[in-house]
Every structure is written in structure tokens, then in C-alpha cells.
Structure 1
Amino acid sequence: MQRRLITSVLLGHYLSAFTALGIPLYLPRILSDLAPGTPGWAIGVLFVLPTLCTALAAPIWGRWADRNGCRLSLLRAHAGLFVGFLLAGFSPNLTVFVLALIIQGTFGGAMAASNAYLSTQFKGGDLSRALNWTQYSARLAMISGPILLGLLTAQGLGLDLYRYLAWLPLLAFVLILPLPKDAPKHGLASKKAEALGELPQDMPRLLAVQFLFSFAMVVTFPYFMPFGEQLGIGNDALIGVLYSLPHLVYLLALPWVQKHQGNLLLHGLALLAISNALQFWSVHAEPLFILRLLSGAGMLLSFVGLHRCLSQRSQKGSAGRLFGWFDSSGKWAGTAAGVAAALISQSFGIASPFLVACLAAMAAMVLARPLLMTSREIPA
């Protein structure tokens, strides 16, 4: 039963993540068909609009999930993405399309909802591993989505891609329907039950580490292609491979890394800081392959460590809020990183986001140390 449950949740999350993460790369082409003459700044705003809406809504949905059930909230997330994408696919103008993006971000949030539901079904090391696998499905979607959708856009598909992709989160909805319900904490619960749902005292520190770690990852994404060209790489496909290498490390090495019993969060953040510093100082393309692998190792160890911290702090009655705030922190970090990358690269050069990522990872290390000192160990 547990194998069937986690398979359904992970497959459902992959389908929704594939939908949400695959298509933004082709937003400029879609907008050129829907609303020719859309200014460049509007494309950037629409690119981050769903993420902003998710960042704002995730804590609210988390509280709602604690009161009404995390499984119900997961169904809501898949359904919200279905409605948002279906509306986008049939948008007659830019105004309706913007509304569809707002619905997608506000009523989506499958990552937080999936993790919150899993936390009601698994505990300790089992939960930590489950969280690693939801991140695995996100990385897989991040790699496969742009590639497969790129093949479709090459065939001339544009706005109608949204209406075809809408069926994927609907399929995810169907996969979740037969899964067992969790016990919600209704509004009439006693004060004693309310106390059981308190968030951990060090939650602000955990959110700060998550923010800095997510910021360090994302701030180098937007201008990686011109960075590669600056180092003399003239092949777009090779730049794409180098860009994807950290995610491939996660996909290939996770089964072995998560067997380690200790928390390797500090090691991961250190590797991330070192790899970004070395990429900032790079003047030749040859070392980039090794440095991207090093970044992937840092990302993997950091994710596994953060998930172990989360699983140690998950408790009955607060799963929705815990994962809602955690996901919201990552979304705010991604939004801030996109803005920072644009400003920093314009002022200090294309390579400067790597230095900022290094500093963010070092700051995360300082904040993370007390988390590990107060964490209780859980079986791997």
C-alpha cells in the first residue's frame, strides 16, 4: 500500500511539475502569437507571475490543509493547475491569459501539497526519503519538460500547448483520488489539539536557510547561456548540457546519497559555495564540466540535508503550514534571484551572479549550523 501511495503521489507531482516547469521557457514565442508587440519587460513579469502568486498563497493553503486535510489540498493543487492551463489554452486575449497565470500560481502549488500529504503518511527516515523523491520528480520535470515541449513548439504549437498540457494535472488529480485521507484538524478542535499543531521554534531559521540556498541555485540560471558564450562555448546544445548537469547529478546519485545516516547539509552548502566561486573566477571553458558536477553534488547534499531537517520537525496538525511556508520561501527566493541576476549582471558583468551565489551559500552555512545542533537524529 505504501509503495502504491508514494508512486501515485510522485507520478502526480511529476505530471504537474512537467506542466508548470516545461512551458515558461517558450513564453516569448507564445506571447508573440497571442499578443504581438508585447514589450520585453512584460514577458519577464509574466514569467514570474505564477511563482509570485504561489509564494503568496502557499502559507494560506498550508493553514487550510491543516484544517481540512492535506489530501484534499493536494487535489486542489492539481485541479487548480488544470483550470489555469485550460483557461490559458483558450485565452482570446492577453487579459484572460494573465488571469489564467494567476489562477495557475494561486491555486497550484503541487510541491508543497505533495510534501504535506506525504508527511501525514510517513515519518522519520521514510518521510525524509519521500521528500528527496518529490524533489527528484521536480528535477526530472525540469530536464525533460523543456526538451519534449521544445520538440512540440518546433512543430508549430503555441498557445494551444496549454490546453493539451492541462490534461496532465487532471490525470494527476485522478491518481490521488483513491489514496487514503488524512485526519484534518477542524476549526472546532480543542485548544489542546491546537497546541499540537504549533510550528517548530526554529522555523524562521529553517526558512532563511531554504531562502538562501534556493537563491544561490537560481541566481545563476538566467544568464548561464551568455556566461558560457563569454567563455568561448559556441554550441548552444553544449551550454544546455552544462546547464543541466547539476540536475542530472541529483537524478543519478540520490539513491546512494540518501542512505547516509548523518546530515550533510553543511557539506552541500560548502560545495555549492566553492563551485560557484570557481565558476566566477573561470576564464576558460574546460574546467566548467567538473565545476557543474561539483555544483550538482552541493545541490544534492543540501536538498537531502534540508529534507532531513524538515522531516525532523514535521508533526501532527502543522504539516500544511510547515511545507506551505517552506515552499513559499523557495518561491520568494526564486523571484528575488531573477531580479538580482538582472541587476547584478548589468552592473558587474555576466559572471557576477556566481559570486553572489557563493556568498548566499556561505550565509546559509552560518545559519544552518544551529539547526543541525538542535536536530534529533533519525534512521536513514
Structure 2
Amino acid sequence: MPQRLIASVLLGHYLSAFTTLGIPLYLPRILADLAPDAPGWSIGVLFILPTLCTALAAPLWGHLADRHGCRLSLLRAHAGLCAGFLLAGFSPNLTVFVLALMIQGTFGGAMAASNAYLATQLKDGNLSRALNWTQYSARLAMISGPILLGLLTASGMGLELYRVLAWLPLLAFVLILPLPADAPRRQARTSDGDGDEWPDQLPNDLPRLLAVQFLFSFAMVVTFPYFVPYGEALGVGNDALIGLLYSLPHLVYLVALPWAQRQAANLLLPGLGLLALTNALQFWSDQPDLLFTLRLLSGAGMLLGFVGLHRCLSQRSRNGSAGRLFGWYDSSGKWAGAAAGVTAGLVSQSCGIASPFLVAGLVAFAALVLARPLLIAPREITA
């Protein structure tokens, strides 16, 4: 059952991630059809609106998941995403479309819900590996989604694309239905023991873990929005080549994850250091020939950072608190993404198109300094 359970959760997560990560790239085209008079800045607002809603809602859904079951919360996430996409696909105007995006973000959150449910079924090393594969499905969706959906938009599909994509989270919902339910918090405390395990408590160093997750996510995302003009400024004139360079870190994750999972030591600190160094070098570099190598090394830093954070996370996961732990963890990453998007716009306007890479390097170094106690501190808990 564990392998079948993991496969069902991962496939379900990929289907939902494919919808949410693939379609935002084509928001300008969809908005031009739905509300051609909408101001240009509205595209940016609509782009981050689901992310902000998820960041706000994830801790609450995590609390409810611990009280009523993480499998139920995972079903809610897939169903909420399906409902949001259906409403978006039938939106008669911009107001209804904005409401649909808010439903998508507020009632979605498949990443946190998938990880929390896996945490109720797996422990320590098995859980850490499963979290790596959940991130793998997200990276795969981030690469495959824009490409495949681009083919559909090229064929003339616009707003109706949301209606087609609504079937994917619905299929994910069906995949999760036959999986075993987990015990809610009070049942978990009763069944797991009375005093020593404290199964419904959160780790004492959770604020530090969330801060490292925030900084790590920020460092990755802040370089994304203006990567195309950055590549053009270096003299890379081919759009396909810029797209390849943009995707290289994610491809490194997809290819090298099996190797990284076999490493006995937690390589979080080397990963953050490599991420800081490569981003700083991308800021200082004016040679397009070096960019390919730097993007590969940046991907290696991202991979080691993810695997290291997942090990820290799995070591702190307990029955009865998985929903809250992963809810707060996902919320931290979503807030980081929103903040990074705003910061990228501000610094690129005032300090140059390469400046987000310098910001990413400094933030990754700050995460490195902050992360060290996570590897040596005992696994304490607090209320």
C-alpha cells in the first residue's frame, strides 16, 4: 500500500500543480479576451492573487486538517481547485474571474495538503524522500505545463482553457478517494501514547525553519520575473535559448534528485552556499557563455537546499500536527513568492535588470547563516 499510496498522492499533486503552474503564463492573453480595457498592472495583481489567498488560508486549513484529518483536507484542496477553475472557465466578466482566482487560492493548496497527508502515513527517511518527490512533481509541472498549455492557446483556446483544466484536479480527487483516512489529532494522541511523544505539538524551532524556508523561496523566485530581459541584456537573442536557461535549475532537480537522496549527510548548508555564490556570479557576469554553467550550479544549489530542508522538516513532523506544520511551511513559501515578485520589480527598476540576482545571493547567504542550528539543535517541541 505505501508505494501505491505515494504514487496516488504524487500523481494527484502533479495534476493539480499542472493546472496552477501552467496557466498563469497565459493570463495576459486570457485577460485581453475577457476584459480588454483592464489596465496593464492588473495582470500582475491577478498573477499573485491565488498565491496570496493560499498564503493566508494555509495555516487555517492546516489547523482544521489536524482536527478532522489530513486526507479530508487533501480532498478539499483538489475539489477547491476544480471549483475555482470551473468558475473561471465560465466567467462572464472580470469580477467573477477574480472571485474564481480567490476560490482557487483559498480552497486549493494541494502542495501543503499532499505533504501533510504523506506525513501521517510515512516517517523520517521515507517521509523526507516523499517530500522530495512532491517537489519533483511541482518542478515537472512547472516545465511541462507552460509548454503543453502553450500548444492549446496557440490553437485558439482562451478562457475555456480553465474548463478543460478543471478535469485534472477532479481526477486527482478521484485518485485520493480510496486512500486510507488518517486519525485526527485527539485520536492520534490517544493511540500514540500519553506523555512522552506529544504527537500534536509543533517543533520548538519552527520559527527558524519557516524563516529559512521564506529566505530560500525568496532567493529562488526573485530572479524569475525579469530573467528574459536579463538574458537579452547579456546578448542572448534566441527566445528558445533563454527559455532553456531559465528551466535549467528545474531540469537539474529532475535529473539529479535520485543521487541527492542517497547522500547520508544533510547538505542544506552547502546547497544554500552554492545558491548564494551562483546568484552573485550571475549578477557580476557579463559573459553569456558562462550563464549555462552558472544556471546548472544554481540548480544544484536549489536541489541540495530542497532535499536538506525536507530532511529537517521530516525530522520535526509528528502525528496530530502535520496539518499545521505543513500549512505554516507552505504559507511561508507563498508569502516569500509574493514578496519576491514585488522586490524584483522595485530593484530592477531602480538598480538595473541584473540586481535581483544580487538580492538573491544576499538572501541565500542570510538563509545559510540562519539554517545552521537546524542541523545541530535537538528536536524539541512546544505548544
- The 5-angstrom pairing of residues 324-335 of structure 1 reads 324-335=327-338
1:230 counterpart residue number: 233
Separation in structure 1 between the aligned mates of residue 37 and residue 361 of structure 2, nearest angstrom: 38
1:128 counterpart residue number: 128
Deviation string, structure 1 residues 84-143 (Cα, Å, up to 9, x no partner): 000000000000000000000000000000000000010010000000000000000000
Separation in structure 1 between the aligned mates of residue 247 and residue 370 of structure 2, nearest angstrom: 28
1:307 counterpart residue number: 310
Structure 1 gap ranges (5+)? none
Equivalent position SS for 1:196: coil
Separation in structure 2 between the aligned mates of residue 340 and residue 136 of structure 1, nearest angstrom: 27
Whether the 8 Å CA contact 2:185–2:321 is kept in 1: the answer is no
1:363 counterpart residue number: 366
Separation in structure 2 between the aligned mates of residue 90 and residue 261 of structure 1, nearest angstrom: 50
2:252 counterpart residue number: 249
Whether the 8 Å CA contact 2:220–2:360 is kept in 1: the answer is yes
2:34 counterpart residue number: 34
Deviation string, structure 1 residues 348-379 (Cα, Å, up to 9, x no partner): 00000000000000000011000101157xxx
1:61 counterpart residue number: 61
TM score, norm. by length of structure 1: 0.97
Separation in structure 1 between the aligned mates of residue 59 and residue 4 of structure 2, nearest angstrom: 28
1:203 counterpart residue number: 206
**AA in 2 matched with 1:160:** E
| 1:196 shift after superposition | 3.0
Deviation string, structure 1 residues 244-269 (Cα, Å, up to 9, x no partner): 00000000000111111110000000
Equivalent position SS for 2:289: coil
**AA in 2 matched with 1:105:** G
Equivalent position SS for 1:47: helix
Separation in structure 1 between the aligned mates of residue 346 and residue 378 of structure 2, nearest angstrom: 37
2:164 counterpart residue number: 164
In the alignment, is residue 297 of structure 1 matched against residue 300 of structure 2? yes
Deviation string, structure 1 residues 296-337 (Cα, Å, up to 9, x no partner): 000000000000000000011100000000000000000000
Alignment length, in residue pairs? 376
**AA in 2 matched with 1:11:** L
Separation in structure 1 between the aligned mates of residue 40 and residue 276 of structure 2, nearest angstrom: 32
2:346 counterpart residue number: 343
Percent of aligned positions that are identical: 80
| 1:188 shift after superposition | 12
Whether the 8 Å CA contact 2:189–2:198 is kept in 1: the answer is no
Separation in structure 1 between the aligned mates of residue 324 and residue 121 of structure 2, nearest angstrom: 16
TM score, norm. by length of structure 2: 0.96
Separation in structure 1 between the aligned mates of residue 315 and residue 189 of structure 2, nearest angstrom: 25
**AA in 1 matched with 2:333:** G
| 1:41 shift after superposition | 1.0
Whether the 8 Å CA contact 2:188–2:199 is kept in 1: the answer is no
| Distance change >3 Å, CA 93–CA 366, structure 1 → 2 | same
Whether the 8 Å CA contact 1:111–1:134 is kept in 2: the answer is yes
| 1:72 shift after superposition | 0.3
**AA in 1 matched with 2:45:** V
Separation in structure 2 between the aligned mates of residue 187 and residue 72 of structure 1, nearest angstrom: 15
Deviation string, structure 1 residues 193-225 (Cα, Å, up to 9, x no partner): 895311101000000000000000000000000
Equivalent position SS for 1:181: coil
1:352 counterpart residue number: 355
Separation in structure 2 between the aligned mates of residue 285 and residue 158 of structure 1, nearest angstrom: 36
Separation in structure 1 between the aligned mates of residue 246 and residue 238 of structure 2, nearest angstrom: 12
Whether the 8 Å CA contact 2:79–2:173 is kept in 1: the answer is yes
Separation in structure 2 between the aligned mates of residue 200 and residue 2 of structure 1, nearest angstrom: 26
Separation in structure 2 between the aligned mates of residue 95 and residue 243 of structure 1, nearest angstrom: 33
In the alignment, is residue 274 of structure 1 matched against residue 259 of structure 2? no
Please tell me the root mean square deviation across aligned C-alpha atoms, in Å. 1.5
Separation in structure 2 between the aligned mates of residue 4 and residue 375 of structure 1, nearest angstrom: 33
**AA in 2 matched with 1:4:** R
2:220 counterpart residue number: 217
